[in-house]
């Protein structure tokens, strides 16, 4: 059966997340529904990452297998045509390619890239409401980066792992964690082969404490070494998080 790699973008608001759940709108289910209308087949849509409710994507990856050959451009156009028959959908296939038979969107991935957007201003959000986390207190990005450096590398990330995380081990290698100011926004980028459930959002919530001056950078190292979720900061809201790339 021909296999295709899809690249997707979506606004996570209004969906229960990537993974389908009975009685709820999910990104995975909406794509599967569009595929059924396109080719008349029940297709399993396998994503590179299971983004949570409210989390966005600019370059999510997925793979599908179809019963017969289709031109990749026709696959992209066909899925998008049926997706946008439902005006509620904010999902688009932005690229489709034929893939090797052994390509797997989740298990073949070698690195995932996330961006977290904070709007650091007192004025309320208009256009960016639902697409960024607003923090009104001034943030010290240099202190946040100093704290972030303690998290880079191979560690036990129990303190930055949601209690519902199903990963077999809390050990992960964080390749990159950078804090940069872009005008009134603060961008936090994180790169790793894989992440624990809510890991990026908990790291961001913890770094925000440092940025506000409530924690010192070294307190983040103490939280990491404690291996205790209660010792880290809050879980940042989902609307600021974007899956921006998957490398194979």
Q: Which are the catalytic amino acids?
A: 52
Q: At what angle do helices 217-226 and 141-148 cross, to 10 degrees?
A: 30
Q: Which uninterrupted H or E stretch holds 158?
A: none
> Are the C-beta atoms of residues 241 and 18 closer than 8 Å to each other?
no
Question: d(Cα 133, Cα 115) in Å, to the nearest integer?
Answer: 12
> Are the C-beta atoms of residues 203 and 76 closer than 8 Å to each other?
no
Question: d(Cα 221, Cα 223) in Å, to the nearest integer?
Answer: 5
3-state secondary structure 187-240: EEEEEECCCCCCHHHHHHHHHHHHHCCCCCHHHHHHHHHHCCHHHCCCCCCHHH
Question: d(Cα 55, Cα 204) in Å, to the nearest integer?
Answer: 14
């Amino acid at each position: 059966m021909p296999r295709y790699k899809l690249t997707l973008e979506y606004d996570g608001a209004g969906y229960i997340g990537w993974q389908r759940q009975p009685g709820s709108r999910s990104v995975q289910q909406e794509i599967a529904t569009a595929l059924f209308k396109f080719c008349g087949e029940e297709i399993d849509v396998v994503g590179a990452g299971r983004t949570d409710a409210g989390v966005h994507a600019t370059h999510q990856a997925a793979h599908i297998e179809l019963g017969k050959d289709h031109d990749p451009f026709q696959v992209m156009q066909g899925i998008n045509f049926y997706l946008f028959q439902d005006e509620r959908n904010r999902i688009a296939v932005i690229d489709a390619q034929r893939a090797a038979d052994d390509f797997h969107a989740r298990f073949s991935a070698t690195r995932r890239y996330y961006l977290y957007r904070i709007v650091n201003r007192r004025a309320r959000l208009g256009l960016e409401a639902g697409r960024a986390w607003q923090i009104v207190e001034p943030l010290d990005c240099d202190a946040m980066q100093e704290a972030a450096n303690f998290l880079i590398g191979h560690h036990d990330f129990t303190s930055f792992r949601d209690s519902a995380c199903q990963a077999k081990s809390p050990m992960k290698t964080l390749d990159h964690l950078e804090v940069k100011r872009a005008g009134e926004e603060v961008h936090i980028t994180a790169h790793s082969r894989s992440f624990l459930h809510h890991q990026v959002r908990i790291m961001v919530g913890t770094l925000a404490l440092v940025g506000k001056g409530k924690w010192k950078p070294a307190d983040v190292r103490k939280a990491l070494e404690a291996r205790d979720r209660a010792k880290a900061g809050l879980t940042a809201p989902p609307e600021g998080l974007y899956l921006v790339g998957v490398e194979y």
